[in-house]
Amino acid sequence: MNIDNFVSWLTLGSWVVSGIAYLIRLVRGEANIPKWLSLKTIIGITIAVGFSLSVFSLYLNYHQPIKKVAAPFRSAYVYYAPQLGKPGAVAKNVDAVQSVYEHAIIIWLRSNLTIYVLPTDAPDQKLRAQQDPVWDSDPRFYDEDELRRMFPDCCPRDRLPPWGGIARHWKDSPKDWEWIGWRKSQCLYHASAILNQTFDGGMIAGIFTSHSHQALPKAKCLFL
């Protein structure tokens, strides 16, 4: 729960407690009622005004932000809103690459110049964001024949060597990357196919396919 929602709930609680406490004082005869007000009027104003303002505040906190969330992400945002927080800038179309390796799914977003490594069956590994600012500096890392020469130990017939920035980082620091295994499949997305939106507590990018060879209607979002 973010700070805005916490304050709203706290305000609502204080109004309810205040109303109950004042009612108790009235019943005990400890509170004086102005002549121009009746008991019912005081109780009604105290509770109704406080309750209405608090409910309205909660409504704004929970429902207004979703209007700024890109339409494909809204159903997911409702579920992950406490972690994501409020949306930032409007979602943008971005170029992206999705690669499935033996032990990880790799997402590259051109807008962020970042490689996101999501372990799939490597419990000792955590989600990792690797900066990739020079992604296009060496065309050899995008040439399948050249990549096979770079990685002579690769691969079974149904596997491929690492590609792009992954290959370059693997060559520079093999111990940090060998655990992901060989590449199984890959999908390149033009900007018209992928959206990226930032939030106070993270971002949503998508929509990516569940597996690289599947069609877009079966796609799912990536939450980072």
The strand pair at 195-199 and 92-93 is best described as antiparallel
Give 4-37 as a DSSP string: HHHHHHHHHHHHHHHHHHHHHHHHHT-S---TT-
Lowest mean pLDDT among 28-32, 87-91, 140-144, 169-173: 28-32
pLDDT (0 to 100) of residue 28? 62
Burial grade of 107 (CB within 10 A; 0-12, 13-18, 19 or more)? buried
- Mean pLDDT, the chain, integer: 79
Confidence at 213, pLDDT banded by 50, 70, 90: very low
* Other CB atoms within 10 A of residue 171 CB: 15
Does pLDDT of 16 surpass 50? Answer: yes
User: Does residue 34 have a pLDDT over 60?
Assistant: no
What integer pLDDT is reported at residue 220 of this predicted model? 45
If we measure between CA atoms, which residue out of 47, 87, 45 comes closest to residue 70?
A: 87
Whole-model pTM over 0.85: no
Across 133-144, average pLDDT:
89
pLDDT tens column, 185-210: 888 888 778 899 999 888 899 888 76
Say what the pLDDT of residue 122 is.
Answer: 82
Residue of 64 and 202 predicted with greater confidence? 202
Distant-in-sequence, close-in-space partners of 16: CB < 8 Å, separation ≥ 6: 47, 50, 51
Looking at per-residue confidence, does 10 or 179 come out higher? 179
